[in-house]
Amino acid sequence: MQWIDIGANLTHESFSADREAVIEHARQHGVVQIIVTGASIDSSTAALELTRAHPGMLFATAGVHPHYAEQLQPPHLSRLQALLAEPSVVAVGECGLDYYRNLSAPEAQRRAFEWQLRLAADARKPVFLHQRDAHEDFVALMREHRSSLVGGVAHCFTAGERELEDYLQLELSIGITGWINDERRGAHLSALMPRIPAHRLLLETDAPYLMPRDLTPKPRSRRNEPKFLPHVGAAVARARGETLEQCAAHTTAHARELFALARRCHDSLTNGK
């Protein structure tokens, strides 16, 4: 079986001492490709550098998380645009709205989000989306821009039926993490899994965050890793009433289609980047 982790924060400092080993352990567990999440221009640049060291296995997103929206100013857009021109950068983001913490003012978040939606339309690359406690504004902006976008994924979906239906109506894909393995907070997700069409379902670890709570034996470290993605896939497969092999096959096929991984890989190797 082959798995694709569509969202792992491999530039996080918790991986500094053993990043290469983490990537190799993922490979040994069947995780054949990983998309490294960018959350700022600096971390997006670092994610791009990682892809150059692992062509064909690692890809990246480039964008500015809503927490850092106030840092994104018009002069920075050309830097972001240049990152998005790189073949191994396969999506725009992590971008969106987060009114839970409001680390950036809501107005700044909405402005940065719209800028990135326009960049995604110009680059013809999907968006890697974040939303927390901002559903109405998020959906309104997505509806305004959706016709110009090639696609997108609601990263780390943890919400309910209403949000899921809105995202599916927007023809977004749905990213499921180890939240589904948490019997305290994620039990409601199991009932929603059959409602997600196979061609819209994606899996991610969001490493080093959201380590599956039901891992046995429990790792000494609380750091999540891409190698745990098949464990998330097993929970999703059970909830959908399908085999592990079926879950791996359709989530991997959809990740490759949405992010055009075969073409991006070819372009990266051809361009020597």
Share of the chain above pLDDT 90, in %: 94
Q: Is the pLDDT of residue 7 over 60?
A: yes
**Chain length of the chain:** 273
Q: Is the pLDDT of residue 194 over 80?
A: yes
List all residues 6 or more positions away from 102 whose beta carbon is below 8 Å from its beta carbon: none
Task: Grade residue 270 by pLDDT with cuts at 50, 70 and 90.
Answer: low
Which CATH class name applies to 3-271? alpha beta
Which tens digit of pLDDT belongs to each residue from 234-245?
999 999 999 999
Task: Grade residue 263 by pLDDT with cuts at 50, 70 and 90.
Answer: confident
Q: Is the pLDDT of residue 268 over 80?
A: no
Give exposure, 220-231, as e/b (b: 16+ Cβ within 10 Å). eeeebbbbbbbb
Q: What is the mean pLDDT of residues 157-163?
A: 97
Task: Grade residue 59 by pLDDT with cuts at 50, 70 and 90.
Answer: very high
Q: Rounded to an integer, what distance in angstroms lies between the CA atom of residue 78 and that of residue 97?
A: 22
Q: Is the pLDDT of residue 273 over 60?
A: no
**Phi then psi dihedrals of residue 194, to 5 deg:** -65, -15
pLDDT at position 269 is 63
Q: Is the pLDDT of residue 220 over 80?
A: yes
Six-digit token pair at 140?
Answer: 């309104």
Residues 177/207, Cβ–Cβ less than 8 Å: no
Cα-atom radius of gyration of the chain, to the nearest Å? Answer: 17
Task: Grade residue 271 by pLDDT with cuts at 50, 70 and 90.
Answer: low
pLDDT at position 221 is 87
CA angle in degrees (0–180, nearest 5) for 95-66-78: 60
Q: What is the pTM of this model?
A: 0.96
Q: Rounded to an integer, what distance in angstroms lies between the CA atom of residue 112 and that of residue 108?
A: 6
Count other C-beta atoms under 10 Å from residue 159's C-beta: 18
**Phi then psi dihedrals of residue 18, to 5 deg:** -145, 30
